Amino acid sequence: MAPQDLLCQLLESDGKYADNIYLLKKIILTAYLGRLRINSLSPDRKYTLANYLLDDENIIFDFTRLSEEKKEKFLQWLLKSHEEEKETVFLNRYAVNEYRGYSAEVSLNWWGKFKSWLFNKRFDHWTLADISLSLHYQLTGLNVCYGKKGLLIGLNQFLSPPMKGKYSDPEKNEQDSNGNAKRVYITDKLVDRLLSSNIGDFDFNNICKKPHPHSLTIDKEQYQSRYEQMHAYRTAEKFHALKPWYIRLFGWVASWFKFGSSKKEAPSKTKRFEKLLKEEQISISRNKETNEILVLEKRPDSEIMVFCGGGPKIFAHVGVYKAFCDAGLRPKKYAGSSAGAIMSVLCYLGCTPEEIFEFFKSIRPENLIYYEKLNVNGISNTNGLKAALDYMINKKILEVLKKHHDKPEDHYPKGKITFGVLEHFRKQYPDCGFGEELTVTATRKLAGETTYFSFKHSPDEEVSKAVTASACLPIVFQPVKINDEEFNDGGIKSNFPTEIYKDDYSSLLESEHGNNLKLVGIQFNNGTERHTLDRIKDKVYRENFLLNWIYRLLTGVNDPASGWEQDRIKLRQHALQTIVLDIGKDVNISSIYLSEESKIKLLETGLKGGKEYIDLRYRKTSSGKYKNQELMYSTFANLFDLLVYCCYRENLDWFERVYQLILQSKSADRSELIEHADQLRKLYFPTEFENKSKHPSFYNHPYKRPSKEEVFKKAEVFVLVYPVFKDLSQDWLMDKTDKFIFEKSRFSLSLNSPFECLEHLEKIKGKVHIIFHALHQLIKEIKIEASEENLQLLKDIHDLIKSGSLSMDDFFFEDNWNLSRRQCRHLVDLFKNNQMQELQCACEYFKEGCEPMKVFRESELYMVKGQNSRFLKDQYFEKAEMDEEVYYESFSP
């Protein structure tokens, strides 16, 4: 019995292995509806689908075009119901590796099999039929080997059919079994189609005995070109498996005795193309001699920006962002890890490059790192980092609310500022300047896996906390707890998170690796990145076992080197979409203090890299706008091959347009092509099929409108208090213990508890600067009443601190200051007006617990000491008679 007949008979059987045969049907259906590629080319129509399935070559289900959500659904649909029937097997001949950026098959020798067994690498086996004592073809089972980005599926067969000429040139010295020859690309839409399909509705007898829907008719004279393309693909991907050395040696010696058989290559002919379709964004041309189709399409504009981690190198990120903003190319979606997460949230909030640069410049190490006691998890908690992020987030929210409402306190969100809240603001205030999407990564410490925080994945998570977790550098910061789970720096497992944005199918052509063509990434050259791009044929660098072990100890995450290896693979896959910045060795991730010169140099490096990227891809028009000029191209064997590609992209509009080109063609097989095209339309574009999957909505997560003004005032106070504490230094205190308490108060400052710092400030007993004391007293007043007058006084104190003109003379330090709010106001005015004589006089009185008297005489103000004056609490005379002296003396309670 022929193999394909036996397969059809097996699929119709209903014996003891019926459940396993049902799994085989799922595999066949996936291969039938998916995009089957034979060494990167379309299948040959002279082979049926069964012919391709029933040979010694394994087939790979490729997940590189699949989102994680759909991948889980597909695996559950395919394998979940068959868990009980599977058998676990070791010592297989094959395995998968991921170092190319996708799951690839690799054959194992005895040492590889031993390592596979040692590291518990298994594959699952399902029995399809019992082995019989027969010398005829038998199909007894199927195996599944699991990869991160695909499945390797093989069939256990006895006397499988020969493969000569199917996957390679039979005259070449290659082994018959090549590996990686058959690959089926799985897409999100295909998964939706499979989940909504009833397998009983498909005629598997017809499916197996006919060619794959994507098959092409290959003329005899085209086979040599087809073999050459297959060979070039396998050479580029390093898939070649050569015959044993003695056979190759014999062939080489035998070639010496072949005389006069060498063929001279015919001179290459100039390819002449005729335009079939031309539009502003795309053009389709056909070679008149070979019918080859050339498609040229403009690459979509850069709308997505992905920032890598890099600590203090973040200033270079600002430079790249500035280059894009200056060119009028501000992106809409942002993602980042570690320091890149901080940059991405600020860009998402609509901050200008100048605002971001000034904010980063104002942040000092002591604003972020606080050392209290020895902790094996890290030197400092993350309160300072979170407070800095809360400050910028709330500052932008307050700006939006004050712009649109007379009473912004009625619209300020009650509770945490989550990803859902920001999405709500973006939709409610379209002109707020927010981006369309924000995603940051963090590493689950125990699981060693990357978690993505965004509106889609975690709408109820606080934004500042997620970004803090992403930037939680090991050793320096202690892990951040989210939902009772510890998170570390997102850069440990995904420092260049381009995987967040998959192909969005907005263009007809796709990237070789399924990239989102709207994405531009920013990556620093840390020593291996440039080598990764310059030597694309080399395997990407991976840290050795010893380094991996050391980094594991430092980060607390298992196998961090695997994440960095994947980052280099992603960089290679996005080589034409990435700005690689050479920062130099002067600045590294552990650099805490950067000079002003270094910060500006980093900014200029990023600015230069961004401009070079834009100038290569965009053209500046006469109106000053930048217009995209970058072209993509792809070739197809003929119009039907392009039509099949449109089915894979599930683009009905382009399917119909290419179909019209086939109708207009004068090809000899035009009628046959039209018939195949009609079959493709029925198969891939059925009118009743609908994608039932729904995108998560913000409104599935209740958003509570605030009802109290206190919530708004708390945010407003935090936005004012945080920059004051940020600019304060320990120089405002004399006692060493007090300085430690001050640092503790600084790191206790948070959006939800802006007055928690008072608990620590009350413990300061030594000498402090009088302005520091005034600030302390004012914050206590604001806690009781956040009046406009008090908030304005706080702004004035901050302006004095920022000016740097305040005298730090010992005269202004005392341990028994006790000023009222009115006295603080009077003191600040004297400092602002630089009235040093009056200021010293006032301080002398304040030290004694009294206040200098004001004498109003002929509009002149004098300072005198009152005697026997009665106490007037919180009252003073606004004016007096011109010819009368009025004395008063006020003591603080």
**Catalytic residue list contains 489:** yes
C-alpha 62/C-alpha 73 separation (Å) is 15
Decide if 346 contacts 433 (C-beta within 8 A): no
- Catalytic site residue from 44, 188, 192, 489: 489
Largest interatomic CA distance in the chain: 130
Q: Find, among 3, 288, 28, the residue nearest to 163 by Cα.
A: 3
**Catalytic residue list contains 799:** no
Number of helices followed by number of strands (H, E) in the chain: 30, 29
C-alpha 461/C-alpha 455 separation (Å) is 9
User: What is the b/e burial string over 374-389, where b = at least 16 CB atoms within 10 angstroms of the residue's CB?
Assistant: eeeebebbbbbbbbbb
C-alpha 188/C-alpha 198 separation (Å) is 18
Q: Is residue 670 helix, strand or coil?
A: helix
Read off the amino acid at residue 211.
Answer: P
Which residues, including other chains, have CB under 8 Å from residue 185's CB and lie 6 or more apart?
Answer: 34, 35, 37, 62, 64, 65, 648
Q: What is the DSSP code string of 827-872?
A: HHHHHHTT-HHHHHHHHHHHHTT--PEEEEETTEEEEE--SSPPB-
Read off the amino acid at residue 14.
Answer: D
Decide if 466 contacts 482 (C-beta within 8 A): yes
First to last CA, the chain: 107
Tokens of 648: 């894979």
**Backbone φ/ψ region at 602: left (φ over 0), alpha (ψ -120 to 50), beta:** alpha
User: What is the b/e burial string over 478-516, where b = at least 16 CB atoms within 10 angstroms of the residue's CB?
Assistant: bbbebeeebbbbbbbbbbbbbbbbbbeeebbbbbebbbb
Decide if 476 contacts 460 (C-beta within 8 A): no
**Backbone φ/ψ region at 861: left (φ over 0), alpha (ψ -120 to 50), beta:** beta
Residue 706, Cβ neighbours under 10 Å: how many?
16
| Pairing outcome for strands 437-444 and 333-337 | parallel
E strands present in 279-409? 282-287, 293-298, 304-307, 333-337, 378-380
- Residue matched to tokens 């076992």: 545
- Give the helix/strand (H/E) hosting 761: helix 757-761
- Using CA atoms, how far residue 464 sits from 92, 188, 247, 354, 748, in Å, is 48, 32, 65, 21, 15
- Catalytic site residue from 338, 344, 464, 748: 338
Q: Find, among 716, 730, 865, 878, the residue nearest to 795 by Cα.
A: 716
Q: What residues are paired with 138 via a beta bridge?
A: 158
Tokens of 312: 């203090």
Decide if 746 contacts 725 (C-beta within 8 A): yes
Tell me, what DSSP letter sits at residue 889? B
Decide if 493 contacts 556 (C-beta within 8 A): no
Q: Which residues are catalytic?
A: 338, 489
